Structure 1
Amino acid sequence: MPRIRLEADGPVVTLHLANPPMNAFDSAQRRELAAAARELTDAQDVRAVVLYGGERLFAAGADIKALAAMGPEEVRRWNRALQRTFDEIARLPMPVVAALTGYALGGGLELALCADYRVTADDVLLGQPEVQLGIIPGSGGTQRLTRLVGPARAKNLLMTGRRVDAQEALRIGLVDEVVPPESVYPDALAYAKRLAAGPAAALEAIKEAVDHGGDAAVSTGLALERSLFTGVFGTADAATGLRSFLEHGPGKARFGDPVPDGGDTDRDDTKGPTT
């Protein structure tokens, strides 16, 4: 049985974790996730991605039984491969929205941290509990979590291994939206469709500028921004957007192929769905 399913809804693809009962990351799921990342990276018709683990939970981390049986060299190779795979998800050129239900723990939270936006259920529990096993996160938890919530809060979560509920996660910036459990996937999908209706090259450039410029000196980030700005200026979407603004005013442009039903492209706000 496949442990990863790609489910297309127009220009939006849901990357569905399907490794019951806990969606734990074993080697087979890691390989399928890597293959899915490569497929999405090269896809010409995919404009946004939703990460989803199902109605019950997102993912509860690594397969601890398998990890406990590994020696140092084997676990180093395993971790390197999983870290590389998560990085491939983080580097997808299109917007990525995580839909979090139930639990997102350990490697599950590390995968969610690879997304650009996180929609979570109001009863969700999040955490990096690795320290309670005498180890540390190895697939981005110490790095992406720190960049998202700041060093002090990251150290607190990492050093205690405690679980965070939805409201605290929203308050500290770990997630972006809290909704009832039944609304998590529909809301994440609706936001992904809204983004999918935007200019693909500009969205990719924004993602690259924020993700890579934020790790550099301001002067380096500004140079990156300038280069990306110049690059997107010559795209068909830029021509469409500029012409539409001059002829019809702001917010009227339609980029690429029409978005399927469910994509709300007439909203005036510039934020995600309302919390």
Structure 2
Amino acid sequence: MPFLEIQKKTDYALVTIKRPEALNALNAELITEIGEAVKTLESDPSIRAFILTGEGKAFVAGADIAKMKEYGEKEGNQFSDLGQSVFRKLELSPLVSVAAINGFSLGGGLELALACDIRYAVPGAKLGLPEVSLGLIPGFGGSQRLPRLIGVGRASELIFSGDMITADEGYRLGIINKIIAPEDLIAESEKLISTILTRGPLAIKAAKSAIRQGLEATLDKGMDWEKQLFGGLFANTESKEGLGAFLEKRKPNFGG
């Protein structure tokens, strides 16, 4: 993959976007590669999570504006459809995803981070959805995910103004989970992944499904889905091991 480097660890992967000369700007080829990378990792039974980061001073500084300037309505629809489709697959993947935001995360870059489960950022990271300053709107799901994450009013302010915000402001708003020194960003992301991977694999998948599907349902339907997932976990040996380990005051052995 020309624009991605995938480093597989024991049970997770580090995926690095490597287009630093363009601040890792998203074009159709790169977006397609991200989708292929997620599919490849999902097909590996040893991989349960991945960290997504960028090379250089940007996570992803937006979409490829020079290319977009050539688009008409048809091409614009196609580009949006591609980004939405790939980011949706990432969002709904059974794999846990952590966006390690190492710098600029703007436009499509912030939309990519919003499709991940968890977002860590360095203090100097800049976040924003500046599309309106280009006469556009977010096209890869940002206008839908951001209001669900931080509320309509705050999301509207960011989208309508197109302003950049600091990592500190992103943390205050709830976009960023944690701010970490640049030299520790990947190590802290790996530490989080390592903790998650000590938990029940089926339980983590079920929890992610409960959260993601529940966000798109009424409260009653979401709770019904939670009930089905909760009850279903009693049908496997993983829950028996977890409950037994607690009663026996030992660490559970969930295996793969």
TM over 0.5: yes
Is 1:240–1:254's contact at 8 Å kept on the other side of the alignment?
Answer: yes
Is residue 16 of structure 2 the alignment partner of residue 12 of structure 1?
Answer: no
Q: Which residue number corresponds to residue 270 of structure 1? A: none
**1:45-194 alignment runs, 5 A limit:** 45-194=46-195
The alpha carbon displacement at 1:55 in A equals 4.8
Distance 1:44 1:76 in 2: 35
- Relative to structure 2, which stretch is displaced further, 179-188 or 155-164? 179-188
Relative contact order: is structure 1 or structure 2 higher (C-alpha 8 Å, sep ≥ 6)? 1
- CA offsets 1:79-135 (integer angstroms, 9 cap, x no match): 101110011111110211110011000000000001111111011100000010010
Q: Find the residue that maps to 2:37 and give its secondary structure.
A: helix
User: Where does structure 2 lack aligned partners over 5 or more consecutive residues?
Assistant: none
Q: Which residue number corresponds to residue 241 of structure 2? A: 240
The alpha carbon displacement at 1:192 in A equals 1.1
- Relative to structure 2, which stretch is displaced further, 230-239 or 214-223? 230-239
Runs of 4+ in structure 1 deviating by more than 6 angstroms, as ranges, are none
Q: Which residue number corresponds to residue 196 of structure 2? A: 195
- CA 1:55–1:187 in structure 2 vs 1: closer, same or farther (change >3 Å)? farther
Matched AA of 2:160: M
Q: Find the residue that maps to 2:233 and give its secondary structure.
A: helix
Is 2:131–2:137's contact at 8 Å kept on the other side of the alignment?
Answer: yes
Q: Give me the TM-score of the superposition, normalised by structure 1.
A: 0.89
- CA offsets 1:51-95 (integer angstroms, 9 cap, x no match): 111352201111011111011111211210111001111111021
- CA offsets 1:238-270 (integer angstroms, 9 cap, x no match): 121011112116xx223225xxxxxxxxxxxxx
Q: Find the residue that maps to 1:162 and give its secondary structure.
A: coil
- CA 1:94–1:236 in structure 2 vs 1: closer, same or farther (change >3 Å)? farther
Q: Which residue number corresponds to residue 260 of structure 1? A: none
Instruction: State the percentage of identical aligned residues.
Output: 34
Distance 1:29 1:166 in 2: 25
Equivalent pairs counted in the alignment come to 255
Distance 2:228 2:43 in 1: 23
- Relative to structure 2, which stretch is displaced further, 201-210 or 234-243? 234-243
> What RMSD, in angstroms, separates the aligned Cα atoms of the two structures?
1.3
Q: Give me the TM-score of the superposition, normalised by structure 2.
A: 0.96
Matched AA of 2:60: A
Distance 1:191 1:55 in 2: 23
